[in-house]
Structure 1
Amino acid sequence: MRLRHIEVFNAVMHTGSVSAAARLINISQPAVSRTLQHAELQLGFALFQRSKGRLAPTSEALALLPHMEKLFAQLEDVQRLADSLRKGRATDELRIASVLALSHEVLPRALAQFKQKHPNVTVTLQSLHSPQIVSALMMQEADVGFVLSNVQQPTLLQENLARVPMMCIVPKGMLPPFKLRAGTLSQEDLAGVPLICLDAQDPVGMLLNQLGRESGAGQNHFVTVQTYHTALAMAHHGLGVAMVDGCTALSADRSKVEVLPLAPELQVPVNAIRAAAQPHSLLVKAITREMQKVLGAQR
């Protein structure tokens, strides 16, 4: 199948009619019909059957659909990259993509220092999950990304800025005072206490779940969340103990929660990532330096 076949197939699948598909991709109805006929001729089977004025996909079309959607997504990625290349880049603009855990405290502090030295630079910030940050960098939609994990992607360069400890966020009154006196909390200290857990697809969440199982402490996983700040919010409302990174812990309301390091100590990396093919701009170097300073001051 050709690219035009894929485009028309996708349009008809999503609209259910030749006329709607033609409007969606801005070509004539006869052109849609001809393209479908040509695709079916090349494939050797029908893709759609007319039913009550609409085009119903055949079983063969439904089998092709997930593969076609992957191809169409790749075509859209190519279009996004082409758009970025066509528009070019302003020299007084810095586009940052960051995980939410760094966007609340660490990055604003770094940007405050950055702005003093570069007052005329326009900054665009996207708060995304790590896989989305990788995609944004590869599509040249961001100049630098900041993540709380190691990224294995050969087209990206990674620079470690710091390692931050995992912290326990404990609603006041949830644990007896004698467990807080040591200044740290172990997995055993949290046995039977409701826990706000990170999704197991998160690298740190996976590690925490593994440590909990190995401790044999009988943990009570009350709720599972996808971001550190959601876990922190749950702890603020007294729903359980949250284990979050040290950057997120900076946002903790000490009037509502106790903040103690996890023992034995568990650290997560804070990394700056950028596209290897792109020049290392002065602005990217500058914001990376400011991030490193802020992270160093938290130790």
Structure 2
Amino acid sequence: MRLRHIEVFNAIYTVGSVSGAAKILNITQPTVSKILKHAEDQLGFKLFKRIRGRLVPTDEAEVVYRETKTINDQVASLQKIVNNLLKGDSGQLKLAAIAALGLECIPKAVLEFRRRHPNAKFEIQTCHHDHLHATILEQDKDIGIAFNPQKQRGLEEVLLGTGEFVCIYAGDEFDDYPDRIKISDIGNRPCIGIENSGPLGDLLNSLINESNTESVTDIVAQTYFVALNLVAMGGGVAIVDEFTARSSGIAKVKYKALDPPLEFMVKAIYKDSKPLSKLGMHFLDFFKKEILDKREPLY
């Protein structure tokens, strides 16, 4: 029996009439009758007999039904999966993100997305900015999310939003300052430095050099998140991205935006020879609208 034969057979078996099967399958009655006859001709026996105007399964049909029910259920399940894939509601998505986003912001987005789309599955990896491009190019992950990722052959970019640098502190040293502070306001306060922080580090160093400010850096952290925790424990102040500043850490810290603002872009990257799946596009759209666009504005 062909798959179409099984589909028509199960429909007639379920409703007991050609007309009812035609409605379920959204095809004409003559088409149902033709497919049924073709199936019976191939099998060499009748599948139904007409009793008081109703098609009743033969003994052979009962056996066929038991054997084909699993196939029919699998086809229905496959159709449901395909529909979910088309809507971007299911499948698997492998994400890589820099630590500033991958330790809290991305996990929050994934959990919120799965509450709405429980059939979606995720893998999440945090990695250093320098390793992100290789992770995507080697197809270890589907999408990478970072700040100001450098353009590289073989990768496409999607702009998700923007962010700013802020100064984080744990005491009261900037409580009486305006909503935005200048780099020079940091003065000689102990400052947590960030080691090899990629394009954002270059951006920040340029601003510091232009301000002719000399900071006292006795501790250098490898990531913004480590700097956040050092500040929370009283280790000094630090200039980090606003997403790190807003995250939990071991204790809440305070933060002030910079004057003038120092902005950066939040982008997704993916391999140009491997277009984004429906799930990938759906998640990035969700991440932009529900996570990035809805955060509280800086002053």
Normalising by structure 2, we get a TM-score of 0.64
Partners of 1:172 and 1:256 within 8 A in 2: no
- Identify if the C-alpha distance between structure 1 residues 209 and 221 changes in structure 2 by more than 3 Å, giving closer, same or farther: farther
3-state SS of paired residue (2:256) = strand
Q: CA deviation at 1:161?
A: 0.5
3-state SS of paired residue (2:113) = helix
Alignment correspondent of 1:145? 144
Q: CA deviation at 1:214?
A: 2.2
Alignment correspondent of 1:289? 285
Give the counterpart letter for 1:199 in structure 2.
Answer: E
Partners of 1:196 and 1:235 within 8 A in 2: yes
CA–CA distance in structure 2, aligned partners of residues 184 and 254 of structure 1: 25
- Identify if the C-alpha distance between structure 1 residues 186 and 271 changes in structure 2 by more than 3 Å, giving closer, same or farther: same
CA–CA distance in structure 1, aligned partners of residues 118 and 183 of structure 2: 47
Number of matched pairs: 206
**Structure 2: 5+ residue stretches without partners:** 1-89
Q: CA deviation at 1:114?
A: 1.9
Give the counterpart letter for 1:122 in structure 2.
Answer: K
Give the counterpart letter for 2:94 in structure 1.
Answer: R
Normalising by structure 1, we get a TM-score of 0.64
Alignment correspondent of 2:154? 155
RMSD: 2.0
- Identify if the C-alpha distance between structure 1 residues 190 and 254 changes in structure 2 by more than 3 Å, giving closer, same or farther: farther
CA–CA distance in structure 2, aligned partners of residues 233 and 166 of structure 1: 17
Q: CA deviation at 1:196?
A: 1.0
Q: Does 1:130 align with 2:129?
A: yes
Alignment correspondent of 1:4? none
Partners of 2:181 and 2:259 within 8 A in 1: yes
Partners of 1:106 and 1:295 within 8 A in 2: no
- Identify if the C-alpha distance between structure 1 residues 126 and 161 changes in structure 2 by more than 3 Å, giving closer, same or farther: same
Alignment correspondent of 1:257? 253
CA–CA distance in structure 2, aligned partners of residues 176 and 120 of structure 1: 46
Pick the aligned partner of 2:229 from 229, 233, 252: 233
Pick the aligned partner of 2:220 from 211, 218, 224: 224
Partners of 1:232 and 1:252 within 8 A in 2: no
Partners of 1:149 and 1:271 within 8 A in 2: yes
Give the counterpart letter for 2:213 in structure 1.
Answer: A
CA–CA distance in structure 2, aligned partners of residues 132 and 291 of structure 1: 22
Could you tell which deviates more after superposition, 210-219 or 120-129? 210-219
Partners of 1:96 and 1:123 within 8 A in 2: yes
Q: CA deviation at 1:205?
A: 1.7
Task: Encode CA deviations 1:221-254: one digit per residue, 9 max, x unaligned.
Answer: 2222221101101110111111111111111569
Alignment correspondent of 1:280? 276
**Structure 1: 5+ residue stretches without partners:** 1-90
Partners of 1:235 and 1:257 within 8 A in 2: yes
CA–CA distance in structure 1, aligned partners of residues 139 and 174 of structure 2: 51
- Identify if the C-alpha distance between structure 1 residues 130 and 286 changes in structure 2 by more than 3 Å, giving closer, same or farther: same
CA–CA distance in structure 2, aligned partners of residues 254 and 108 of structure 1: 17
CA–CA distance in structure 2, aligned partners of residues 209 and 113 of structure 1: 36
CA–CA distance in structure 2, aligned partners of residues 105 and 295 of structure 1: 13
CA–CA distance in structure 2, aligned partners of residues 250 and 176 of structure 1: 17
Partners of 2:228 and 2:238 within 8 A in 1: yes
